[in-house]
Structure 1
Amino acid sequence: MKLIWSPETASKAYIETVKSCEKFKESGVAELLSAMAAGWNAKLIVEAWSHDGPIATSVGLAIAARATGGRHVCVVPDERSRLEYAAAMRNAASSSAIPEIAVGEAETAMAGLVGVDFLVVDCKRRDFARVLRLAKVCHRGAVFACKNAWQRNVSGFRWQWALERGTRVVRSVFLPVGKGLDIAHIGSNSGTSTMGLKKGPSRWIKHVDQRSGEEHVFRK
Structure 2
Amino acid sequence: MKLVWSPETASKAYIDTVKSCKSFIESGVAEFLSATAAGWNARLIVETWTRGDPIATSVGLAVAAKHTRGRHVCIVPDEQSRSDYVAAIRGAVTAETTEVIVGDPLDEAVEGFSGVDFMVVDSKRREFVRALRAANLSNMGAVLVCKNATQRSVSGFRWQGVLGEGTRVVRSVFLPVGNGLDIVHVGASGGLRVKMRKRPSRWIKHVDQRSGEEHFLFTR
Aligned to 2:57: 57
Q: Deviations over 1:25-55 (max 9, x none)?
A: 1151110111111111111000111321111
In the aligned structure 2, how far is the partner of 1:29 from the partner of 1:123? 14
Aligned to 2:116: 116
Equivalent residues of 2:3, 2:40 under 8 A apart? yes
State the shift of 1:154 in Å: 1.8
Aligned to 2:214: 215
State the shift of 1:210 in Å: 3.9
**1:94 counterpart letter in structure 2:** T
State the shift of 1:132 in Å: 0.5
State the shift of 1:5 in Å: 1.1
State the shift of 1:162 in Å: 2.1
1:167 aligns with 2:167: yes
TM-score (norm 2): 0.89
The number of equivalent residue pairs is: 215
Gap change, CA 1:12 and 1:146, over 3 Å in 2: same
In the aligned structure 1, how far is the partner of 2:70 from the partner of 2:6? 15
Q: Deviations over 1:142-189 (max 9, x none)?
A: 000111111102222111112234323221100000011111001221
State the shift of 1:122 in Å: 1.3
In the aligned structure 1, how far is the partner of 2:122 from the partner of 2:215? 21
Gap change, CA 1:61 and 1:192, over 3 Å in 2: farther
Equivalent residues of 1:147, 1:182 under 8 A apart? yes
**1:127 counterpart letter in structure 2:** E
In the aligned structure 1, how far is the partner of 2:215 from the partner of 2:95? 33
Q: What runs of 5+ residues in structure 1 fail to find an aligned partner?
A: none
In the aligned structure 2, how far is the partner of 1:192 from the partner of 1:208? 37
Q: Percent identity over the alignment?
A: 66
Gap change, CA 1:138 and 1:218, over 3 Å in 2: closer
1:85 aligns with 2:85: yes
Aligned to 2:28: 28
| Structure of greater relative contact order (alpha carbons < 8 Å, 6+ residues apart) | 1
Aligned to 2:140: 140
Q: What runs of 5+ residues in structure 2 fail to find an aligned partner?
A: none
Gap change, CA 1:17 and 1:32, over 3 Å in 2: same
**1:191 counterpart letter in structure 2:** G
State the shift of 1:219 in Å: 5.0
- The 3-state SS of whatever aligns with 1:11 is helix
In the aligned structure 2, how far is the partner of 1:50 from the partner of 1:123? 12
**1:133 counterpart letter in structure 2:** R
Aligned to 1:14: 14
In the aligned structure 1, how far is the partner of 2:142 from the partner of 2:134? 13
Gap change, CA 1:155 and 1:39, over 3 Å in 2: same
- The 3-state SS of whatever aligns with 2:107 is helix
- The 3-state SS of whatever aligns with 2:96 is helix
Taking only aligned residues, the RMSD between alpha carbons, in angstroms, comes to 2.2
Equivalent residues of 1:134, 1:164 under 8 A apart? no
Equivalent residues of 2:168, 2:192 under 8 A apart? no
Equivalent residues of 2:115, 2:137 under 8 A apart? yes
**1:209 counterpart letter in structure 2:** D
